[in-house]
């Protein structure tokens, strides 16, 4: 009979294997377009480099303008090169700040939307009679245990969709997104969870990408 430590080691090896397989699956989903990879501008790091390049170009233009002035007559009629540089830098900073503001509003809208969903879910726990208005969410029985099981699966699906949206808009780095997918995939290793997730994801208004990715993860867990 294998020792307890041997069992634990075997479990750790199996978990690492499943995690590695899930990471490869994420890359495949991104590569084939199932998961929309954020565009270049959506990358926070890319934004920094765009801003840096704009500053360098601004300084280069100011220097070129200064040399151009040296070869002209009546140079005093033209604006000072330092003033030009300041104007270009200010314009660059204003443009960068504008896009940051737009992104912050977009990110905030996602957070507010899922906070509102969470608020409704809390009311389902507090107001049992309200569940009768949407009985198709809770299955054929009016059992409290079944309600809690389904609510848990809904919460996991909400978390998965939330991370999909944030990644596709460039608000989450790929390592954290892979972590979120691994988390959901690990839940699917439980057959009851996977079977229920496959049923619930199709009838609760989830985004088509969420439905597709959740079904892929459930099917992968069934194979493993």
Backbone angles phi, psi at 3, to 5 degrees: -75, 170
Write the pLDDT tens digit of every residue in 148-180. Answer: 999 999 999 999 999 998 888 888 888 888 888
Among the listed residues 166, 131, 167, 172, the one whose alpha carbon sits nearest the alpha carbon of residue 148: 131
Number of separate domains in the chain: 1
Which tens digits make up the pLDDT trace of 8-63? Answer: 555 565 566 666 767 777 777 766 666 666 655 555 555 666 666 766 766 666 66
Tell me what pLDDT residue 100 has.
Answer: 75
- CA dist 189 and 185 (Å) reads 7
Using N-to-C axis directions, what is the helix angle for 174-188 and 191-200, rounded to 10°? Answer: 110
| Position 122 in a domain | yes
Q: Is position 9 within any domain?
A: no
The reply to whether 6 falls in a domain is no
**In the structure, what pLDDT confidence band is assigned to residue 198 with cuts at 50, 70 and 90?**
very high
The answer to whether residue 90 is domain-embedded is yes
| Confidence grade of residue 145 (pLDDT, cut at 50, 70, 90) | confident
Better-predicted residue by pLDDT, 217 or 107: 217
Higher pLDDT, 91 or 201: 201
Is residue 206 situated within a structural domain? yes
Q: Is 16 inside a domain boundary? A: no
pLDDT at residue 152 in the model: 93
Residue 159's pLDDT is 94
**What residues make up the domain containing 150?**
25-223
Asked whether the beta carbons of 205 and 32 are under 8 A apart, the reply is no
Domain-embedded: residue 10: no
Report if residue 70 sits inside a domain. yes
Distance CA(207)–CA(161), nearest Å, equals 8
Confidence of residue 184 (pLDDT cuts 50, 70, 90): very high
pLDDT over 90 (residue 196): yes
């Amino acid at each position: 009979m294998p020792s307890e430590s041997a069992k634990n080691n075997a479990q750790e090896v199996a978990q690492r294997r499943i995690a590695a397989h899930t990471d490869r699956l994420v890359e495949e989903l991104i590569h084939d377009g199932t998961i929309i990879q954020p565009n270049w501008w959506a990358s926070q790091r890319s934004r920094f480099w765009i801003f840096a390049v704009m500053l360098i170009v601004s300084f280069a233009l100011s220097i070129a303008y200064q040399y151009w002035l040296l070869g002209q007559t009546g140079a005093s009629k033209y604006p000072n090169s330092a003033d030009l540089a300041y104007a270009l830098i200010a314009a660059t900073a204003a443009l960068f700040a504008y896009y940051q503001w737009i992104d912050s509003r977009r990110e905030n809208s996602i957070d507010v939307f899922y906070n509102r969903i969470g608020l409704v879910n809390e009311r389902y726990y507090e107001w049992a009679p309200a569940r009768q208005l949407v009985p198709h969410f809770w299955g054929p029985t009016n059992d409290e245990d079944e309600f809690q099981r389904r609510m848990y699966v809904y919460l996991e699906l909400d978390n998965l969709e939330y991370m999909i949206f944030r990644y596709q808009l460039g608000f989450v780095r790929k390592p954290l997104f892979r972590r979120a997918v691994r988390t959901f995939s690990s839940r699917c290793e439980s057959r009851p969870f996977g079977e229920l997730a496959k049923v619930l994801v199709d009838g609760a208004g989830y985004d088509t990408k969420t439905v597709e990715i959740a079904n892929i993860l459930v099917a992968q867990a069934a194979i493993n």
